[in-house]
Structure 1
Amino acid sequence: MNTAHRLVLEDIHIALAGSPLLSLDAEIGPGEVLTVMGPSGSGKSTLLAYLAGFLAPSFQASGRVLLDGHDISRLPAERRGIGLLFQDPLLFPHLSVAGNLRFGMPRTVPDKAGRIEAALEQVGLSGFGSRDPATLSGGQKARVALMRLLLSEPCAVLLDEPFSKLDRPLRHDMRRLVFDRLREAGLPSLLVTHDREDAEDAGGRVIELSH
């Protein structure tokens, strides 16, 4: 999981109904977090949708998305090797905590139960595997969502304002947990946010979008 991954956004241009929305050139190295900031309507979520592979057909996009030197721009979302962390944890309500973690793990991973328990221990949730997600606090759900992402072994990560719905006292600790884990895993990550504190805690480069 600590392979040195690299994400390159090469000459990306996105337009809506023929009107330019955003242009971007960037390279994100292993363990780096690139923050893209901007007001609502500046194209942050549209950029994530394009990179992840589910851009609405009403948009026009050009350029290349290179992951470890391979152009993934034309691949379907499930084959891109990109993990996503959203504003909401989006845990499956019909699965236990352990079931949620197991869901995204590659089939070839040995000792899934052992890896799940180790992952929970890393985020202070040892013994929570059998719990119903509905019984967890917002911060606990966010930690489970993070470990589900990491256990799926992505090659790059997109972060869609994942801290915006947490109580303010929790945000700094959760940011530190997320960014530390991404660096440890050597994952190039792109964070979109309107919160300056997110960018400061990410500690990487910041690109500002305008309308």
Structure 2
Amino acid sequence: MTPDGKTDGLQIRRMTIGLAGRTLLSMSATIRPGEILTVMGPSGSGKSALLATLGGFLDPAFTATGDILIDGSDLTDIPAEKRGAGMLFQDALLFPHLSVGDNLLFGLSSTVRSARERRQLVEQALVEIELTGFFDRDPATLSGGQKARVALQRTLLSAPRFLLLDEPFSKLDTDLRHQVRDLVFTRAKALKLPVVLVTHDRSDALAAGGETMTIGAEP
């Protein structure tokens, strides 16, 4: 799986996010292809609002100013579905009424039209995460780590231009956290995707290996 096109990096220019007249954060950053920007801060500091702003789905209760660029193109006024943002959350959010394979087919880029090719791409995606033969499995039968891997592949199959990670490892136990985190970071770097990770855990920042930005007061 490769993205539809290479990216020159994600640029965040003079971004300010506020709520109820209070400024939550002000920042500028450039995340190059394959790099990870880690944003840390306590609850309520604006971490998730930052991801929502980048993804284009910020709650109207918040205010946001500044520019967001990818490939040199301004995304600021582009609707969420056209931004090319891939998102991973704390929960895998797999569709319970779809099989594992159908969850992946749902995420697969619409540029792949042939039913046979779509099935082959999903089967290969399952091989990559060591879930060969799981196409028809009910997501409810998967372990937490397996669900996380399927969620990652579903996101990557959509051919995102950048990734937004909202504490996707926080609900995993220590061993699974290390495994899934390494998988996510390795795949993102291999695909040369700019990544913005928000987390409370400094071990995530160390594993990411890129710049770390702290916002708000320390907990």
**TM-score, normalised on structure 2?**
0.94
Aligned residue type for 1:197: S
C-alpha distance in 2 between matches for 1:35 and 1:106 = 27
Equivalent-residue separation in structure 2 for 1:22 and 1:70 (angstroms): 23
1:25 aligns with 2:28: yes
Identity %: 58
Give the conservation status (yes or no) of the 8 Å contact 2:24–2:216: no
RMSD: 1.0
Secondary structure of 2:48's partner? helix
- Paired with 1:61 and 1:108, the residues of 2 have a C-alpha distance of 32
Is the counterpart of residue 4 in structure 1 residue 6 in structure 2?
yes
Q: Which runs of 5+ in 2 are unaligned?
A: none
| Matched length | 211
SS of residue matched to 1:157: strand
CA-CA distance at 1:41 after TM superposition: 1.3
**Secondary structure at the residue paired with 1:93?**
coil
**Distance between the aligned counterparts of 2:90 and 2:111, measured in 1?**
30
Give secondary structure in 1 for the equivalent of 2:91: coil
Aligned to 2:162: 156
Q: Secondary structure at the match of 1:127?
A: coil
Partner in structure 2 of residue 125 of structure 1:
131
Matched residues in 1 for 2:110 and 2:183: separation? 27
Aligned counterpart for 2:197 among listed residues 174, 191, 194: 191
Match of 2:97 in 1: 94
Could you tell me which of 29, 48, 53 is aligned with 1:50? 53
TM-score of the superposed pair, with normalisation by structure 1: 0.97
The answer on whether the counterparts of 2:38 and 2:208 sit within 8 Å (CA) in structure 1 is yes
**Pair 1:73 & 2:73 matched:** no
Q: 2:62 aligns with which of 32, 43, 59?
A: 59
- Correspondence 1:206 to 2:212: yes
Residue identity opposite 2:165 in structure 1:
L
Moved over 6 A (4+): none
Listed as ranges, the gaps of 5+ residues in structure 1 are none
